[in-house]
């Protein structure tokens, strides 16, 4: 599974990265976590706001930091 955080390094982007790390650990799913910080790359996902959360190419969230439980649910859903 590939999980990407879209953002230029703002405080919310860093918080989302940390929450996703927790969710990966909580679910026990094997995932590759990375940051996409270049505006040109972020735009390719169609995300209008950061931070953004992308799981296997699908934008799950943008403009906010979802709750840990929601992130874990998306990860489990994508792992099926």
pLDDT single digits (tens) 33-64: 999 999 999 999 998 899 999 999 999 999 99
pTM: 0.94
CA dihedral 3, 78, 26, 2 (to 10 degrees): -20
**Would you call 13 a catalytic residue per the annotation?**
yes
Mean pLDDT within 67-79: 97
DSSP-H helix ranges across the chain: 11-27, 39-44, 68-78
One of 9, 10, 11, 34 is an active-site residue; which one? 10
**Domain ranges (residues) in the chain:** 2-78
One of 13, 23, 31, 65 is an active-site residue; which one? 13
**Would you call 67 a catalytic residue per the annotation?**
no
- Per-residue pLDDT tens digits for 9-27: 889 999 999 999 999 999 9
CATH number of 2-78: 3.40.30.10
Residue 18: how many other CB atoms lie within 10 Å: 13
Structure token digits, residue 59: 């934008």
């Amino acid at each position: 599974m590939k999980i990407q955080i879209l953002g230029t390094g703002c405080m919310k982007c860093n918080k989302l990265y940390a929450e996703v790390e927790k969710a990966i650990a909580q679910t026990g799913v094997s995932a590759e976590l990375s940051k996409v910080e270049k505006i040109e790359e972020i735009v390719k996902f169609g995300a209008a706001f950061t931070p953004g959360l992308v799981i296997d190419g699908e934008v799950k969230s943008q403009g906010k930091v979802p709750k840990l439980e929601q992130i874990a649910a998306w990860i489990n859903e994508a792992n099926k």
